[in-house]
Each structure stands twice: as structure tokens, then as C-alpha cells.
């Protein structure tokens, strides 16, 4: 995996050389924030980075990629974890479920 990433980075270097240090730092911060689950920060960093990248050539693809990361980070930031919906399928409904589970007595039927 590392070899493929290194090859990919080397292939892209000619397209993205010459970014100012501040811009490069913002772009790197996007991926670090996202990797560590700091989705609100990733959204902010994406917005900052996109505003610093000139609108030309391969930069447009980079801006689109950052926009995709930002959209995913927004979705993950807005996701809500529900530990218990208290909903389960009735025994006669389980036939249509992709994964068959046994009924849990502590849950009411749907």
C-alpha cells in the first residue's frame, strides 16, 4: 500500500509544485483532521485550502477532491449515533432481512 501511495504522490508532484507553504499546510491539515475524526476542523480546513488554491489546470481537480472531503466531513460531523432505537423486526418479518438475527426479548417488535 505504501508503495502505491508513494508512486501516486510522485506522479502528482509535477502538477502541484510551487504551492506556498501556507497552502500546502492547509491541504495537509485537511487530511490529518479527517483521519483523526476531527470532522468540524476538516470542514474548516477544506474551506480555507480551497480558497487558497488558484483556479487553473490540475488545481481544479484538487479543489473538487477537497470539496468531496468537505462534504464527507460535514456528513460525518452531522451524523447522530443512536445506541438504542427500541425497534426490532417481528419474527414473521425476519425472512426479508439481509442478516438473520434471533429476536431479543428486551426489544419491542416493529
Of all residues in the chain, the percent with pLDDT exceeding 70 is 88
Please report whether residue 103 resides in a domain.
no
pLDDT tens digits for 72-87?
A: 999 999 987 777 777 7
Reported as a pLDDT band with limits 50, 70 and 90, residue 110 is very low
Q: How many independent structural domains does the chain possess? A: 1
The residue-averaged pLDDT of 83-98 equals 74
Q: Taking residues 46-55, what's their average pLDDT?
A: 96
Burial class (CB in 10 A: 0-12, 13-18, 19+), 52: middle
Residue 64, domain member (yes or no): yes
The pLDDT, as a whole number, for residue 81 is: 73
Residue 71 lies in a domain: yes
Amino acid at each position: 500500500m505504501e508503495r502505491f501511495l508513494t508512486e501516486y504522490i510522485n506522479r502528482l508532484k509535477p502538477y502541484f509544485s510551487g504551492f506556498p507553504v501556507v497552502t500546502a499546510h492547509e491541504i495537509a491539515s485537511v487530511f490529518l483532521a479527517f483521519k483523526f475524526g476531527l470532522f468540524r476542523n476538516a470542514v474548516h480546513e477544506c474551506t480555507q485550502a480551497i480558497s487558497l488554491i488558484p483556479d487553473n489546470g490540475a488545481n481544479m481537480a484538487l479543489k473538487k477532491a477537497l470539496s468531496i472531503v468537505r462534504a464527507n466531513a460535514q456528513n460525518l460531523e452531522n451524523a447522530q449515533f443512536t445506541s438504542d432505537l427500541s425497534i426490532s423486526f417481528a419474527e414473521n418479518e425476519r425472512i426479508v432481512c439481509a442478516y438473520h438475527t434471533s429476536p431479543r426479548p428486551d426489544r419491542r417488535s416493529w
